[in-house]
Structures are given as structure tokens and as C-alpha cells.
Structure 1
Amino acid sequence: MSASTAKVSRKENSNHDGAEETSEKEQQEAIEHIDEVQNEIDRLNEQASEEILKVEQQFNKLRQPYFQKRSDLIAKIPNFWVTTFVNHPQVSALLGEEDEEALHYLSRVEVTEFEDIKSGYRIDFYFDENPYFENKALSKEFNVNESGDPVSKSTEIKWKAGKDLTKRSAQTPNKAGKKRQHEEPESFFTWFTDHSDAGADELGEVIKDDIWPNPLQYYLDDGDDD
């Protein structure tokens, strides 16, 4: 009985080995078919991305008259943009006291996404006459170069004498004539000269994707939950 059992066992093992061989072949075929199906999924995903881009471009054009109407209405509210920036947690962290003073002269902000949205965008800041710089407008533009790498460029700020906020000292004298460490952050306006990592410009992305779509929510939110 034990021999018969052993024979059965060997036979079962033989069948099991054959099943494994068949299974491995089937698995390989399945993997190849999965790869083919995945290629089709990837192709559809690429097609979907292209269609989504076309729709986004279409709706960008449709939004433009409303952006213009909104800008005209915002112009009737004093200090709208500086209040919006001060109330935004990420932007406010970049603002020193003098930055806020300068931004009180900010009258209009515009974000323009290029027709090929993937190629970049531009942010324009329009200022009233102010004691800090000569420019009526400051812009920063993000796009890609011929190699496909993200790059940025911006308006050169024409500072008035002694008013360059990007060069303020890291130390300021107190009333006793001693020096203390400057606790304010680096000037907001250094953003216009920083082109070190155009592909990961946090402030630009925050303005474009968070503030610009609905600045009113930040203008009305003073951060007081009470």
C-alpha cells in the first residue's frame, strides 16, 4: 500500500511539475498580454491628456472676460491685493514690514497662461506711483527653453535711491545704537531676481493656482476664526 501510495505521490508530483511548467508558460503569456493592454491604457491616457489640454485652453479663453470684469471691480477696493497677500499663509510668511508698505501701491495683478498651457505662464503686477521703484509694472514669466528645461525671466526693478528692499541689511541698529539680528524674512521682491529653480517656483505656483482663481476668499479671510 505504501508503494502504491508512493507511486501515486510520484505521479502527483509529475503532474504537479507539468502543471508548473504549463503555469509558467501561461504566466509569461499573461504578462505579455498585460503589457499589450497596458500600452493601450497608456495610449488612452496620453490621448486624454491632450483632450483635457484642449478643453482647458478653450475654457481659459472663455474665462478671460470674467477675469477682466473681476479686475475692474477689484480696482474699486483700496488695498485689495496687499490684503489678499497678507491674509494668505504662504505669501504672508515672505512679507516683511517694508514689503507690505510697498505692496500698498499694488493696484492690479494678472496671471496669463500661454496658449500652450504646458509651456508656461506670466504674472504681472501693476503699481501706482510709489516711493520705492520707478516701474509701473513688474512681471515674472515661466516657460521652457529649447531643451525642454523650465526657465524664468523677470522685469528688472528700477529702485529709487536708498529704497532697494532686496539689499536691506541683515542687521539693523536699535535705538541704543547697538545691532540686533534682523528677524524679518528675505524681501518678497527678491522673488523677481531668483531664477535658480524655475521648475519649482513655489510663490509663482501659489499665485497662479491658489490665489488667482479666487482672490476674494483670501481678501475676506483675516485668519481670525473667532
Structure 2
Amino acid sequence: MSAQAAKVSKKELNSNHNGADETSEKEQQEAIEHIDEVQNEIDRLNEQASEEILKVEQKYNKLRQPFFQKRSELIAKIPNFGVTTFVNHPQVSALLGEEDEEALHYLTKVEVTEFEDIKSGYRIDFYFDENPYFENKVLSKEFHLNESGDPSSKSTNIKWKSGKNLTKRSSQTQNKASRKRQHEEPESFFTWFTDHSDAGADELGEVIKDDIWPNPLQYYLVPDMDDEEGEGEEDDDDKEEGLEDIDEEGDEDEGEEDEDEDEGEEGERMKEKMTNRKH
């Protein structure tokens, strides 16, 4: 092939290659546009599904209300149901100091109410008997989500009785413990009512709404681990006592065998003496 023919062939190849690239880019652009159209349809269906799911949730929330009410009436017959449920819950119990538990012994009922829109938020109500800590009969905390999606929260102002503010006492206790390098008590459970720093990630509120409220009985019935450990220790003690009894019996049997052997040897010696006397 001549040098001129080679140059012509290269030009043709480059021309064909550029044409293929242009076709490919055009097809890719068209594909991207079609993907965007399809994605818009998917988003439209997702939005429609959300609306329908919301209607279903609203429907069943109303249907559940009589059962929640009946459950609350039955729970009211069980002393310390609320505080026991909280103490048995692994996450909530980590937030409870000793005095928090004492105050929660006056808790009679916990209720979670989702707002009618559901997506806009919910409220948690804590009902209390007359108690030595605060005047309120009901302590509430609400969580809201506005139209722009920004979360916020608000709560009842706790009317503490003189010298009974557990949130201040908790802070003082922690400062003393820090100075003495002792184990620090957790912040008071009741500081949760005044904490609105991150309403969108309120773990305690979510745990109560999504875990405890749907089925509090599962946590009330959690077995006391201390009792189980105590029973295990008793079983171990019984086993050790049994082994000791076996060892003692074994020692007694060995003693009896030794005595039998001694008596046998003594008998042989007596026979030998009698034989010698006869001779």
C-alpha cells in the first residue's frame, strides 16, 4: 500500500470513529432523558403510595384507640407497671438514676398520640399521682415536623416542689462525683423534658413511641436477672454440697475398709498364737 493510500485509509477510519462517538453520545443523551421521565413516574407513584399509606395508617390508628384505652384501664390495676417497664428496658434504664425511679413510682399511665396527619408529629403524655417531687398531674412532650421538614419539640414546664428539682440535684451529684472520681450517675430522666436541642434525633421519644408503646407488656414481664443469677448460685451451692457429701461418704467407706483389714490381720495373729501354744 502506498503512503498516500495509507493516509486516506486513516482519515476514513477516524471519520467513521468520530461518527460512531457522535451516535453513541446522542443515544446516551436520549437514554438519560428517558430515564429521567421514568424516574418522574416512579416518584409520582411513590408519592401516591405515601398518601394512600397515610390514609390506611390514619384509619387503623382510629381503630386501635379503643384497645389502647382498654389496655390503659387494665394497666392501672397493676402497681408500678410503668416504672417496672422503664427499668426493664435496656435503653431507658440507662437514663434512670435512683431518685428518678423513686419519682416514677408515682407514674400511673403513659400515652402516645400521633397527630392526625401522622407525618406532622406526635405527643407523649405521662400521668402521675400526687407525689413529693412536682405539682404537675401530667407531663407532656410534643414533636413537630413543619412543612419544610424541620423538626422541633416542646414540653410541659415541670413545677418542682421546694428542694425536689431532680434535674438540678443530678447536676450537683455529678459534679461531686467528678471531683471524687467516683462512678457518675446518669443525667436525670426528667432533663429530657427540657432538652429540645435535637428534636429530629430524640432517641428516648422514638423508643417510647416505636418500642414501648406498641407492647409495654413485653418489658414488664422481663425476668429479673438478679433473681436468675441468685437461683444459679443456689444450684451451684447445692451441687458443691452434693459433691462434699459424696466425698465424705467415700472417706467413711475407706475408713471402714481399713478397719476390716486391721481386724483381719489381728485375727490371723491370734490364730498363730493359739497354734504355737498347742505345740
Tell me if both proteins adopt one fold, taking TM over 0.5 as the criterion.
yes
Say whether 1:89 aligns with 2:59. Answer: no
* Conservation of the 8 A alpha-carbon contact between 2:81 and 2:220: yes
Change (3 A) 1:223 1:11: farther
Greater per-residue strand proportion: 1
The CA deviation string for residues 67-115 of structure 1, in whole angstroms up to 9 with x for no partner, is 1111111112111111111111111111001001110111100000010
Cα distance per residue 1:8-67 (max 9 Å; x no partner): 666455433322211110000110111111111111111111111111111111110111
- The answer (yes or no) to whether the contact 1:170–1:181 under 8 Å persists in 2 is no
CA deviation map 1:166-224 (0-9, x unaligned): 110135879xxx96656111100011111222222221111111111111111122474
Separation of aligned partners in 2, 1:76 and 1:30: 66
- Once residues 141 and 217 of structure 2 are traced to their aligned partners in structure 1, the CA distance between those partners, rounded to angstroms, is 22
2:246 aligns with: none
- 1:166 equivalent in structure 2: 167
CA distance in 2, matches of 1:223, 1:89: 13
Structure 1 residue runs of 5 or longer lacking an equivalent are none
Percent of residue pairs identical: 83
1:119-138 correspondence to structure 2 within 5 Å: 119-138=120-139
CA distance in 1, matches of 2:18, 2:50: 47
Change (3 A) 1:50 1:127: same
Q: Which amino acid aligns with 2:42?
A: I
Alpha-carbon offset, residue 118 of structure 1: 1.2
Q: What amino acid is aligned across from residue 109 of structure 1 in structure 2? A: V
Q: Which residue of 1 aligns with 2:185?
A: 184
Once residues 97 and 209 of structure 2 are traced to their aligned partners in structure 1, the CA distance between those partners, rounded to angstroms, is 22
Write the distance in 1 (CA, Å) between the matches of 2:190 and 2:64: 29
Q: Give the Cα–Cα distance (whole angstroms) in 1 for the partners of residues 142 and 219 of structure 2.
A: 24
Normalized per residue, the structure richer in helix is 2
User: In the aligned structure 2, how far is the partner of 1:215 from the partner of 1:8?
Assistant: 82
Tell me the TM-score normalised to structure 2 length. Answer: 0.72
Aligned-partner Cα distance in 2 for 1:81–1:223: 16
SS at structure 2 position matched to 1:184 = coil
How far does the alpha carbon of each residue in 1:94-147 deviate from its partner, in whole angstroms, 9 at most, with x for none? 100100111011110000001011111111101112111111111111224576
Scaled by the length of structure 1, the TM-score of the pair is 0.87
Verify the 8 A CA contact 1:82 1:103 in the aligned structure 2.
yes
Write the distance in 1 (CA, Å) between the matches of 2:22 and 2:135.
80
**Matched residue, 1:55:** 56
The Cα RMSD (Å) is 2.6
Structure 2 residue identity aligned to 1:218:
Y
Distance in 2 between residues matched to 1:147 and 1:37, nearest whole Å: 26
Partner of 1:109: 110
1:98 paired with 2:96, answer no
CA distance in 2, matches of 1:5, 1:197: 72
Larger Rg: 2
Equivalent-residue separation in structure 1 for 2:118 and 2:224 (angstroms): 33
